Structure 1
Amino acid sequence: MAAVVAVVAWAALGKDSFADASDTALGWVLDNFAWMFVVAADVFLVLCVLIALSRFGRIRLGADDSEPEFTNLAWIAMMFSAGMGIGLMFYGVGEPLQHFLDPPPGSGVQPQSGGAALLAMEYSFFHWTLTPWAIYGIAGLALAYAGFRKGRGNLLSAAFVPLMGERRARSWPGKAIDLLAVFATVFGTATSLGLGALQVAKGLNITTGVEDSTATELVIIVSLSAAFVLSAFSGLHKGVKWLSTVNIVLAACLMVFVFLLGPTVYVLDTIPASLGGYLHQLLPLATRTGAFSDRTWLGAWTIFYWAWWLSWAPFVGTFIARISHGRTVREFLIGVLLVPSGATVLWFCVMGGTAIRLQSTGQEDLAGAVADGVEASLFAMLDGLPIGTVTSYIAMLLVMTYFVTSADSASLVMGSLTSHGSLHPPTWLVVTWGVLMACVAAVLLVVGGLDSLQTATILVALPFVLVMLALCWALLKELREDPGAGPARHHALHGVRDAVRAMVGEAITEQGAARHHRLRRAARSRTSGDGEE
């Protein structure tokens, strides 16, 4: 906690030196380690799919007779709200619209064309669906397995016991891992809270005329932090669960409204076309680095997103692990990968697709809203539909409640990480961490706004990439030894090896049979010859 306070104090008191140091460090990271973010993200996605389809999918996160703690609806609602609720509100319209107006460098498509619209949706899906949830899935699975299956507690270091042993996991190497998780969670969550404050301030400016200033953003952070404190005192089964369910219902109602009163047929056309395009282009998108393209664009979009998801991995991973007791590994991974990704596809097609349609047909000029800031895109799109003022207020309410649930969930995780992995950390500790994260968000907004939030996220996530890759190794090592996975011969990963062994065995058997047949014929020939003599 002292280290986080020190960084915040430096940013607040030494604004220029902090900005210079951050910019220099960011350039160095993008020049030297962009490839590592890209490769790591691909590893997490491939590993999630392989584990889910393998014999390891039968393992239960808890005792073999455990039952899920929450219903499917509550589980999905909490997982989705904690994972990226504010981000979807902020970028759900803004990202597709920005790529449509200004396609990525090197894409070769014309702005505001059909190709630009398809590319915009493909990149939005790439940044928001399978890959981020694979990052969360690996972290959550390792933590749930170590905590519920092995009973080691709720600390990230507990998942590294297979690599470093029980004793070292509890000494300084394990504490260093937990400290990195704390830093990543603080700054990753602060980025989300900062985005929420920016969007609420912009919504108030558009709908009520309140001045969009840093002072307004700070007032919003303070007010919503107070609401978070009330939610924190109500606990996981009341505050977070209730607000998460409300969020899902409100977001669904807003999406259905835009779908029905917006360009309905265009959205229906967009869903299969965009999804097919994304799946077809997944490999090229997933392997794009700065080698043959604009590194600056990559840092502002793909690398920022991967860093954001990685910095959220301890928080979201710990949280979804906490709410996933009693589920099987396969159920966990399929739920984490596909359900939020499917909802995200619908969200981007409805919200982003509507914005693209309004712009391309000339019904609304949304280019000015994008130039005014990504946070203005959602409200500009809603203003082009009936009762735009009412829906804008609903959108602001959604951002506020997502702010509260994100702060609440992250603070619960931070409290757990700093209280020896307790599943029920002291309320005062949870509140303290929530207030501190709000302070980090406020200071970063004052220092440099959205650019400062993005820079801090990428820098903090860099060392955590190595931690996450080591986590994959530790998880696989432990899953292979779990008797609940069943016999190894049924392992999906061994299928090719078994097939090769079978073919080789059959070939050897056939060769042996042929050789035996030749020997018998030779013996009969000799016997027949002797008889004639």
Structure 2
Amino acid sequence: MKIRKTVFYPTVIIILMFLACYMVSPQRVNEVLDAVNRFFQQGFGWFYLAVSLFLVVVSGIVLFSGFGKTRIGGEEAKPMLSTGNWFTVVLCTTIAAGLIFWGSSEPVYHLMEPPGFLGIEAGSYEASVFSMTTMFMHWTITPYAIYSVPALMFAVAVYNQKKAFSFSSCVSGVLPRADRPLSSAVIDSMCVFATVMGMIASLGQGILSIAGGLSEISGKESSRMTWVLIGVFIAIIFTISACSGVLKGIKWISNINTVFLICLMMLVFAVGPTMYIVQLAMESFGIYLDNFFTRSLMIGAGSGSDWSYFWTIATFANWMAWAPITGMFLGKVSYGHSVRKFIVINLGAGALSSGLWISIFGGTSIYQQLHGTDLHGKMALQGMESAVYGMLKALPAGRWLIPVLAVTVVLSVVTAADSTTNVLGDLCFLGDEKDRGMKIVKVIWGVLIGGMAILLICSQGVAGIKMMSVIGGLPAAALLLLSGISLLKTARQKGSLGKEGKREQQQ
């Protein structure tokens, strides 16, 4: 087996040590995790926010620069995927189960428990607008910029500059020695660690969300055994899909999942409080844009509140934890498209799709909470995952939508985990996708990630999910900052880059 030992083994050893320690003293392990998580949040919260805003600025600069005309792979490159298939793969890879999990529960939480330091009354008009603007902040432009910048830098580095399939190629413009074997291995190892933490968090969200759907359908309370069975099932499915080939499995699942997502949005929009959804979304989006920079850097310093740490920082950290390797996958499938089109699809279309989902599902949930359907109380009793199903249940014929949503969550988790597992395999193994050793590496990751996700949600619940995000997000944030600087430097060399890509294609 051609395993890159310095990339593969460090994270595997950390996970195995964690599992061993947890079996000996679970309470002590939880205490250590809590302490590490709090240290990361309070010591580096400002860094997560600053890097996030920086990546938004970089995306805007590149979009409107002359570099936007550059074709990924050179001027003669033909697209690997059609625009339609490309969009569905991007959408389903990035949206995962997180948006479905938080799309109803988070706005209800912010509506009923707004941060005290802002002086907003729970359940008020101000709270509803604050809730929706917060959703736009957490789920639209900024997170998709977090994905798009490293993805674009990776695509240009690999396809135009002919650098190695490694995240070190994204930062070599800032760190000239990054492409050396040892440096490359260290950087890729950091990517693997960050992404595995992010995958554990997202898989945990998916497990809880699916369990919530099964609970609504069966009428039986969700249990830890249910979580274990769902986790094992999902891990098996995405591992098999990942071993089947990068595009064959992902493209097929993505197309089906996109249809489900669009149908769900259209149905909820049609039978829900349509005018309220439109009005709240428009007003909130305007306020979001007006206060974008203020909200992007809001940390609540000196307020004594943990709201920003638990929500904005933890949310951005989760996106960051996924970003290096998800970015590598998004860059990998972007061959043949222009830089400008890349940003339009990955950032623009992705943020728009996410914004539509939270406007419809979040707006409906807020309306129901304000008009007699106590989703907040349901969340307190049955967990955050119950909110979206409670919202659907309150709609006309909503019971029929619950199984559809549960299936959509399964497909979303599988698509995101599938694509990420593929890139984990590429980073950890030197060989062809069809190589038996590559498949073994993917199976190992599937088992470890599935096992950790099950363990964390059974012991820590939603808090454990956010904890993994914050821990994985810190090393990722440093790499994303470097990739953003590298992209700006590359954009300044747009003239020579475009010619170089063309020349390489002709050789």
Q: TM-score, normalised by structure 1?
A: 0.87
**Residue equivalent to 1:280:** 290
Q: Is the 8 A contact 1:322 1:423 kept in 2?
A: no
* Distance in 2 separating the partners of 1:268 and 1:297: 28
The partner residue of 1:116 within 114, 121, 127 is: 127
- State the shift of 1:260 in Å: 0.8
* Distance in 2 separating the partners of 1:188 and 1:303: 14
Q: Is the 8 A contact 2:74 2:498 kept in 1?
A: no
**Residue equivalent to 1:528:** none
* Distance in 1 separating the partners of 2:146 and 2:77: 25
Q: Is the 8 A contact 1:153 1:421 kept in 2?
A: no
- Is 1:468 paired with 2:480? yes
Relative to structure 1, is the Cα distance of residues 131 and 24 closer, same or farther in structure 2, using a 3 angstrom cutoff? same
Matches within 5 A, 1:252-267: 252-267=262-277
Q: Which runs of 5+ in 1 are unaligned?
A: 488-533
- State the shift of 1:375 in Å: 0.5
**Residue equivalent to 1:417:** 427
Deviation string for 1:329-358 (max 9, x for gaps)? Answer: 111112211101111111111111111112
Q: Is the 8 A contact 2:150 2:170 kept in 1?
A: no
- Is 1:346 paired with 2:346? no
Q: Is the 8 A contact 2:115 2:307 kept in 1?
A: yes
**Residue equivalent to 1:24:** 35
Q: Is the 8 A contact 2:101 2:206 kept in 1?
A: yes
- Is 1:333 paired with 2:333? no
Deviation string for 1:407-453 (max 9, x for gaps)? Answer: 21111011011124967773332233222211221122233122112
The partner residue of 1:303 within 313, 328, 342 is: 313
* Distance in 1 separating the partners of 2:123 and 2:311: 19
Deviation string for 1:296-336 (max 9, x for gaps)? Answer: 11111001011101100022201111110111111111221
SS at match of 1:163: coil
Q: Is the 8 A contact 2:433 2:439 kept in 1?
A: no
**Residue equivalent to 2:85:** 74
* Distance in 1 separating the partners of 2:416 and 2:355: 21
Q: Give the residue type in structure 1 aligned to 2:486.
A: A
- State the shift of 1:486 in Å: 7.3
Instruction: State the identity as a percent.
Output: 31
**Residue equivalent to 2:447:** 435
SS at match of 1:324: coil
Q: Give the residue type in structure 2 aligned to 1:280.
A: D
**Residue equivalent to 2:3:** none
SS at match of 2:222: coil
**Residue equivalent to 1:506:** none
- State the shift of 1:68 in Å: 1.6
SS at match of 1:247: helix
Matches within 5 A, 1:355-374: 355-362=365-372, 364-372=373-381, 373-374=383-384
Q: Give the residue type in structure 2 aligned to 1:153.
A: A
- State the shift of 1:12 in Å: 4.2
Q: Is the 8 A contact 2:197 2:471 kept in 1?
A: no
Q: Is the 8 A contact 1:11 1:444 kept in 2?
A: no
Matches within 5 A, 1:47-446: 47-165=58-176, 168-362=178-372, 364-372=373-381, 373-420=383-430, 426-446=438-458
SS at match of 1:5: helix
Q: Give the residue type in structure 2 aligned to 1:368.
A: G
Q: Is the 8 A contact 1:157 1:174 kept in 2?
A: yes
SS at match of 2:114: coil
* Distance in 1 separating the partners of 2:411 and 2:16: 26
Deviation string for 1:466-513 (max 9, x for gaps)? Answer: 2221222223333333435679xxxxxxxxxxxxxxxxxxxxxxxxxx
SS at match of 1:289: coil
Relative to structure 1, is the Cα distance of residues 290 and 423 closer, same or farther in structure 2, using a 3 angstrom cutoff? farther
Q: Is the 8 A contact 1:153 1:422 kept in 2?
A: no
- State the shift of 1:201 in Å: 1.2
* Distance in 2 separating the partners of 1:9 and 1:141: 39
Q: Give the residue type in structure 2 aligned to 1:172.
A: L
Q: Is the 8 A contact 1:11 1:443 kept in 2?
A: no
Q: Is the 8 A contact 1:416 1:424 kept in 2?
A: no
- State the shift of 1:400 in Å: 1.0
Q: Is the 8 A contact 2:200 2:453 kept in 1?
A: yes
Kindly report the root-mean-square deviation, in angstroms, between the aligned alpha carbons of the 2 structures: 1.9
* Distance in 1 separating the partners of 2:187 and 2:494: 24
* Distance in 1 separating the partners of 2:117 and 2:95: 29
The partner residue of 1:451 within 463, 471, 492 is: 463
Q: Give the residue type in structure 2 aligned to 1:303.
A: I
Larger radius of gyration: 1
**Residue equivalent to 2:491:** 479
Relative to structure 1, is the Cα distance of residues 389 and 316 closer, same or farther in structure 2, using a 3 angstrom cutoff? same
* Distance in 2 separating the partners of 1:147 and 1:108: 50
Q: Is the 8 A contact 2:318 2:472 kept in 1?
A: no
SS at match of 2:119: coil
Moved more, 218-227 or 283-292: 283-292
> 1 or 2 for the larger relative contact order (CA 8 Å, sep ≥6)?
2
Q: Is the 8 A contact 2:58 2:488 kept in 1?
A: no
Q: Give the residue type in structure 1 aligned to 2:249.
A: G
* Distance in 1 separating the partners of 2:81 and 2:225: 40
**Residue equivalent to 1:39:** 50
SS at match of 1:62: coil
* Distance in 1 separating the partners of 2:262 and 2:293: 31
- State the shift of 1:233 in Å: 3.6
* Distance in 1 separating the partners of 2:367 and 2:458: 35
Moved more, 433-442 or 419-428: 419-428
* Distance in 1 separating the partners of 2:348 and 2:431: 29
Q: Is the 8 A contact 2:155 2:332 kept in 1?
A: yes
Moved more, 176-185 or 445-454: 445-454
Relative to structure 1, is the Cα distance of residues 57 and 11 closer, same or farther in structure 2, using a 3 angstrom cutoff? farther
Deviation string for 1:154-193 (max 9, x for gaps)? Answer: 2101223333436x52322221111110001111011110
* Distance in 2 separating the partners of 1:257 and 1:293: 42
